[in-house]
Structure 1
């Protein structure tokens, strides 16, 4: 009988080296705590990263791992998943790594629906290289590389993922350990490309970027927790909601003739609704949870099916015979 796994099975012997107070510690703790529940041994689990603070992750997991090239983690992960479909493969990236030089790789791994679990840490800054603006930094952001304020319009990770028709798109927050754990479980249970944006605080170079949804005193009034089949309700007293005013969503207070029946009901299978929620900006609350979750054949499954069909029709093949077929040349000095 197999021995039950626990958190210690997924903790490596490497010293964890992030800045004190970094949100990455909370994410690492949540992942290590959640992994045993999947019942997959560490030797059958792989974490793949690119370049950035988040990309130290594989060192701290007692699993197999690759610390790869800037932005290219999805390409490495795709190759691994196709060749070893039995492995549980995770990609850890950041807003700089995944949405700048790695943007092309990210969108294609999502549209292909490779069976990977992709965690994108979004702190709206380049942390490893000491505080330059990133693809998710807001317009006007003053940093070392934009001393007069950024003029770039930022990427929205959720709508980028939805635009590829990714089959699982979610958002959570580093300090919300219970919710973060739930999103990890949902992502892992999904067959296909699971994309989870994690709002992560960089307390050195962009401290407080997500205070409105992480500060205990005010977060209830700014955080909209998405639950499939339930009305969009939020607020410290659970007395606020989202309803449609024609084609536009609006925040309303319950009471005075407004009831839960007037509110939008969340549907994870509705792509249009997911896009609408993904584009929420103040004064509307920030949605967290699963925006979209549908089933579609996976890329790795389709490729391996083609290989199986080819072997069944033509045999396993022989590489030496293949290389010697057709016209060949002998080169002599």
Structure 2
């Protein structure tokens, strides 16, 4: 196909497989799958140029349900396989599907190195704060006090914060959403538009082992006062959508921390509400660490500041190393310690 060949527009149906979708009834994964299938046509994707790569976990069945190329790999190793795929074919649109256990326990080092290297791909981390596939053990993101088969008296571990982990690993794009949010496709589009490793944490309801753990901010109704949807260049307002937000996030100059302020008559400037800047890494760290309850849950794109990608650097290095050289397998095999067995030698 040359550059002049028109690309046929797709529909969400084009991204569906003939496989029976097998998650527990009511699982948040269904909503995420539909959000991705709706998003793909809008970003101009094509099934033959897209690959979904997963590790192990409930979320990792995802490649079976996308009409694209796919790999269902081993526990925690999806980033390693994705790196090989992207280097072998840089034109592929690579998506990694993982979970809080898959990415942050056995796969923690792989996730970290993928982010610091800045491979051009999208990483969707489904966070349900539990090990769902293996029957409900506590995970790296489970809250203190979580009762599970492996913590019958309640977890005493301090949970990992996926977005803080991503920022600490050098990620250049960090975002959050949740399974049934109408805004999730917009978050996915922003991640896809970013050139480099785009990390998206998606809060996902495990209907069986950790039901409604995010209900305090992700409930279908009445939760807008607990959600801070971030938009670059816009004030950080939350509360009633009809009034444009009744509260906001401001900077406490005394402690260099964030604080919640009241917004009267829509005058957010007088209240000192911060305007979101996706390139401000320090601000992204502060937003990620806001304790929920005292603050709303920060959602949307927290940080977006591109830099050169790992795959571009590797390809450029290989091209430089091979410039002016012709491939010669015989010469390569003869390089180094070699010897010739002369005719008439006893071993001939």
If the length of structure 2 is used for normalisation, what is the TM-score?
0.91
Return 5+ residue gaps in structure 2 as ranges.
Answer: 1-5, 342-346
Alpha-carbon distance between aligned partners in 1 of 2:330 and 2:156, rounded to the nearest angstrom: 57
2:183 alignment partner, SS class: helix
Larger Rg belongs to: 2
In structure 2, the CA distance between the partners of 1:259 and 1:37, relative to structure 1 (3 Å rule), is closer
Q: Does 1:243 align with 2:240?
A: no
The RMSD of aligned alpha carbons is: 1.9
Could you say which residue in structure 2 is the equivalent of 1:52? 57
Alpha-carbon distance between aligned partners in 2 of 1:277 and 1:289, rounded to the nearest angstrom: 11
Alpha-carbon distance between aligned partners in 2 of 1:27 and 1:330, rounded to the nearest angstrom: 63
Return 5+ residue gaps in structure 1 as ranges.
Answer: none
Alignment of 1:161-176 (within 5 A): 161-176=166-181
Offset at residue 212 of structure 1 (A)? 1.5
Offset at residue 151 of structure 1 (A)? 1.3
Whether contact under 8 Å (2:246, 2:266) holds in the other structure is no
Whether contact under 8 Å (1:212, 1:218) holds in the other structure is no
Alpha-carbon distance between aligned partners in 1 of 2:262 and 2:44, rounded to the nearest angstrom: 44
Q: Does 1:254 align with 2:254?
A: no
Could you say which residue in structure 2 is the equivalent of 1:232? 236
Alignment of 1:8-23 (within 5 A): 8-23=13-28
Alpha-carbon distance between aligned partners in 1 of 2:132 and 2:340, rounded to the nearest angstrom: 55
Q: Does 1:317 align with 2:327?
A: yes
Alignment of 1:1-333 (within 5 A): 1-176=6-181, 178-236=182-240, 237=243, 238-245=245-252, 246=254, 247-255=256-264, 259-261=268-270, 262-281=272-291, 282-313=293-324, 315-328=325-338
If the length of structure 1 is used for normalisation, what is the TM-score?
0.95
Whether contact under 8 Å (1:241, 1:263) holds in the other structure is yes
